[in-house]
Amino acid sequence: MFGAIIFLGVTLMHLYVFWRAGSVPFLRRRFSRKVLFGAGGVFWSVFCFGLFSGHSPGMLSGTLGLLGMDWMAVMFLATVCLLAVDLLTGFGLLLRAPAPSLRGLALVAAGVLSMTAVVQGLRPPVVQRYEVQLPGLPRQMDGTVVVAMSDMHVGTLLDRRWLEGRIAQVRAERPDLVVLLGDIFEGHGRPENELIEVLHGLSAPMGVWAVLGNHEFHGNDPTGAPLMNIDGVRVLGNSWAEVRPGLILAGVDDLTANHGSGSDGEAVSEALGGRPAGATILLSHTPWQAEKAAAEGTGLMLSGHTHGGQIWPFGYLVRRIYPLFEGSYDVNGMTVIICRGTGTWGPRMRLWRPAEILRVTLRAAPERPVNGET
């Protein structure tokens, strides 16, 4: 269903963009409408191949997949720019004379934005640093460093070399605890063994922990088994573990998988139920049920999934579904941090929303004065 929606939406964008391109004076003088729509058909075909076959093994499939997905983003930006001009000109009913030339400027703007998005999408993720006072954290654990990665989507488009770079970034932060917040692999079939081997390079004194994202449930194996079978990575499936006395790490399977049945709240309760006293960190790929987690006594919730919208202005739509969108929030006394994603999904492009790795330093609550001392 999701693929069908993307296919229909991008097809409509192609029709709209190339229809409007035919009215631009520069293009109209040089190309007939048949030529323009023929070119549109070729690019549409590349997009279709990228959507439906781009995850197949092989260099040719991977290259065409990348081109198809990037072209989808170009069409999105062109649609946004052209639509802005059409709204300004009343779809050509107002400002009749300059409207065609303004559409040409819109296409130029879309090209500039697309090139900017490609450059930003190819840059390595930034390390975003936070300090969080975690209720119940033992004093001896003050300064504990948690490093988190989310939405890497490693597979056809993001390969071993890219993943090795991210492992090196994590190591450089000298974490005490590493967490993977889901969508580690693209999810269309089992990932290559060499990618799994690279993940073996992750290590931390308190362990490497993970939760499943929605893409771990894609493909021929809907159990998330590839991630669950990586040596040295422990997956928390609606469960908790005491990583050190006084520090509990809990995790839920992706909440969107259970949302249709209304059992996502039950997953949070199951993950947090029966745990010992102490500071609690909840890992949840999708940033839902934060109020529920806060009510259960969680001190910190780490999530991903939103990609920060990845390509502006798509984030305005994403915010309507995920009000906890990116960055840090306070939800009834609990800190929630949403990772924009360490990789990219679909297009290897980002616009104004750089990829990131989270570095969270845990702080114990300050000791209360004794006998009136200040």
Helix (H, G, I), strand (E, B) or coil at 77: helix
Is 5's pLDDT higher than 60? yes
Question: Where are the alpha helices (H) located in the chain, listed in sequence order?
Answer: 2-21, 25-28, 33-53, 59-88, 99-122, 160-172, 193-199, 225-228, 255-259, 264-272, 290-295, 315-321
Average the pLDDT over each of 253-262, 278-287, 361-370 and give the range with the smallest value.
253-262
| Average confidence (pLDDT) over 286-297 | 97
Kindly state the percentage of the chain with pLDDT values over 70: 90
pLDDT above 80 (res 109)? yes
**Burial environment of residue 260 by CB neighbours within 10 A (0 to 12, 13 to 18, 19 or more):** exposed
Q: Provide the pLDDT for residue 261.
A: 47
pLDDT in tens, 179-203: 999 999 886 667 788 888 999 999 9
Which amino acid is it at 102?
L
Pairing of strands 327-331, 300-303: unpaired
Q: What is the pLDDT of residue 206?
A: 98
Average model confidence (pLDDT) for the chain? 91
For residue 222, pLDDT over 70 is answered with: no
Which of residues 372 and 366 earns the better pLDDT score? 366
Give the model's pLDDT for residue 63: 82
Peptide bond into 276 cis (omega under 30): no
Question: Which pLDDT value is given to residue 160?
Answer: 92
Question: What does the block give as tokens for 309?
Answer: 């919208």
Q: Give the residue among 294, 308, 311, 318 at the shortest CA–CA distance from 358.
A: 308
Residue 105 in this model has a pLDDT that exceeds 60 = yes
Q: In the predicted model, what is the mean pLDDT of residues 243-261?
A: 86
51-97 pLDDT, tens digit each: 877 666 667 777 888 899 999 999 999 999 999 999 999 999 999 99
Q: What is the pLDDT of residue 229?
A: 64
DSSP codes, 98-152: THHHHHHHHHHHHHHHHHHHHHHHHSPPEEEEEEEE-TT--GGGTT-EEEEE---
